[in-house]
Amino acid sequence: RVTDKTGRPVRAGTVVPFTVDQPYTAAVEVALEQSRQLAGRERSANTAFVVGDDGLAFLALQPTTQAGAVHVAVSLTEDKVVHTNEIRAWLAASAKDWVVVGFGAGSLGYDMLSKRQSGLPKSERNSVVTDGQLAFYAKGRVKGSWLATIAYDSDRKYDPDRGLLGTIDPDRYYTVYGDGSRQGYDAATRRKLYLRLERREFYALFGDFETGFTDTQLTRYNRTLNGVKTAYEGKRIRATGFAAHTDTLYSRDEIQGNGLSGPYRLSGRDIVPNSDKLRLETRDRFRSELIVSTTQLTRHIDYDIDTSMGTVRFRQPILSRDSNLNPTFIVADYEVESGRSAKLAAAARVATKLANGRV
């Protein structure tokens, strides 16, 4: 429900722009990406229509297999003042039959050869030799209420060129023109095992994840890590926590646009692939702490990043100021390889509603 600054429902037919926090996206972005594969999405805002006089607006999101809390911000401009309605909901995965895909191979032998041109070392004679690989992916309901996602690969090793979250650079292998498919990564992990258990309003996972602490600017903590994460969203209480052993360092840069598409040089080098999160922030020219608008950018669609050199190139020029002379900044959050030993990173956040949801 969309309301104005006085709390009254917005009238039917009003067009309202909205933004959706990652990892979820609006359904309209899919068609926009296909129509502008080489030029990006033109950083246009997603819009929705208020369908009734009670202020209800229908927001279509892209289908997803990942359950979790979704945060939507709906903007309404009144007398040149932007009023934001924040909407929180919990997306649940659909109930489907078990899906199991796997591969297994192995060999067993016994070495006892000694009389040949190059004899076996004594330590390897008369020994049992084993070799093999097991890899599988499984997803399905457990006891009707729990949804389990399990993936395992005995030969998996961390690929520094692929990074976290499993996303593949479309320019790394070969180009497929006119491809209308969308890739999804349901079990992204840098380790051999991925495990996720979820039910209504709760999930816990072991694998790659984004911390997602973006509710407030003061305590904002949005990193990409590998470890354990859990989240719960009830009617009155929201709780999120994570723990990870990581050898990477968090970096953040703010660069004002200069009217060019790039390159823009970040302060960090050896960036972990897929850990970058970029957005454009337009700030009030008189009060820099006030953010007028925010536009989330998508990797490989709105921009390309050179992780080794730490440079970013956009599909379109980034203006230094908007039409009202408010400055525009590129805000980049990312992880860099530190070369140090892994250390523990852990945090938790709990929020509750008081006074019948008014506080």
pLDDT-wise least confident of 10-24, 163-177, 206-220, 291-305: 163-177
Do 243 and 227 contact (CB within 8 A), yes or no? yes
Using the predicted structure, report yes or no on whether residue 39 has a pLDDT greater than 60. Answer: no
Confidence label for 327 from pLDDT (cuts 50, 70 and 90): very high
Using the predicted structure, report yes or no on whether residue 291 has a pLDDT greater than 80. Answer: yes
> Per residue in 297-308, pLDDT tens?
888 878 989 888
Confidence label for 73 from pLDDT (cuts 50, 70 and 90): confident
Confidence label for 70 from pLDDT (cuts 50, 70 and 90): confident
pLDDT-wise least confident of 92-96, 98-102, 229-233, 296-300: 92-96
Q: Each residue of 244-254: b (16+ CB within 10 Å) or e? A: bebebbbbebe
Instruction: Give the residues across from 142 on adjacent strands.
Output: 146
Burial of 315 (0-12, 13-18, 19+ CB in 10 A): buried
Using the predicted structure, report yes or no on whether residue 65 has a pLDDT greater than 60. Answer: yes
Whole-number Å distance between alpha carbons of 359 and 15: 28
Confidence label for 175 from pLDDT (cuts 50, 70 and 90): low
Confidence label for 168 from pLDDT (cuts 50, 70 and 90): low
| Confidence at residue 115, expressed as pLDDT on a 0 to 100 scale | 57
> Per residue in 341-352, pLDDT tens?
888 989 898 888
Higher confidence at residue 274 or residue 7? 274
Using the predicted structure, report yes or no on whether residue 276 has a pLDDT greater than 80. Answer: yes
**Amino acid type, 93:** A
| Confidence at residue 357, expressed as pLDDT on a 0 to 100 scale | 62
| Confidence at residue 326, expressed as pLDDT on a 0 to 100 scale | 92
| Confidence at residue 299, expressed as pLDDT on a 0 to 100 scale | 84
Do 11 and 52 contact (CB within 8 A), yes or no? no
| Confidence at residue 108, expressed as pLDDT on a 0 to 100 scale | 82
pLDDT-wise least confident of 44-48, 121-125, 196-200: 121-125
Q: What percent of the chain has pLDDT over 70?
A: 81
| Confidence at residue 110, expressed as pLDDT on a 0 to 100 scale | 75
Whole-number Å distance between alpha carbons of 75 and 292: 11
Domain boundaries of the chain, sorted by first residue:
15-91, 136-247+342-352, 249-337
| Confidence at residue 314, expressed as pLDDT on a 0 to 100 scale | 93
| Confidence at residue 147, expressed as pLDDT on a 0 to 100 scale | 86
Cis peptide before 17 (omega within 30 of 0): no
